[in-house]
Amino acid sequence: MFKPKEIKKDVKSMGISYKHAFQIDKTIYVLSGVDNKKDNENDYGIRLFVIEGNKVIFRSKGMMDSWYLNLTFFKLKTSNSNILILAETGDEGGSYGISVYELRNSHVKDIGKIYATILEDQENILSAVPFIEILKNADGYIFTFNRDVFIHDDKANKYKTINKHSIKYIYDGKNDIKEIIE
């Protein structure tokens, strides 16, 4: 895990109001915030912004009805400049899952979603971020967990708990993250 410094950044001129801002290096800042002037019925709510100097270089799709967007950063030992941004969303009922972004040399790529959470008890759905492990492979990343996860089974249209050894998410460097259940 990589913990950049949380800062105050003046972004009013960009039309952004934010809850959290992090300084990645001398010129790169990552924020979770809103930009209502560009919202529409299919793209609204809190979102991820990446700013270089005083210019927005990345603006994610809105997280719709999510009440929060918690950012966690990973800098892998095998990667010199790549930073993974895990953007967990949710509301008063708990976590919705994680959107994953790759920041590499002032370029940001949305690499997909991890729809896994942790079922603490029958009432508490927690973030899977503290339990995620990330490995770099030849072309992308492998995401595994050190705790059983709670996912939605689209075929059965219900939620279920999956053993931590039976599930992983793979990003191959080209296509969105893919869920693998063994």
pLDDT digits 0-9 by tens, 159-170: 899 999 999 999
Bridging pattern class, strands 149-153 and 141-145: unpaired
β partners of residue 179: 169
Q: Alpha-carbon dihedral of residues 52, 84, 93, 115, nearest 10 degrees?
A: 130
pLDDT of residue 12: 82
pLDDT of residue 80: 67
Asked whether the beta carbons of 129 and 120 are under 8 A apart, the reply is: no
- Alpha-carbon Rg of the chain, whole angstroms? 16
Asked whether the beta carbons of 51 and 31 are under 8 A apart, the reply is: yes
Q: Which of 142, 119, 114, 144 is closest to 131 using CA atoms? A: 144
pLDDT of residue 47: 92
Residue 13 DSSP symbol: G
What's the pTM value of the predicted model, to 2 decimals?
Answer: 0.92
pLDDT of residue 125: 87
Low-confidence ranges of the chain (pLDDT < 50): none
pLDDT of residue 79: 64
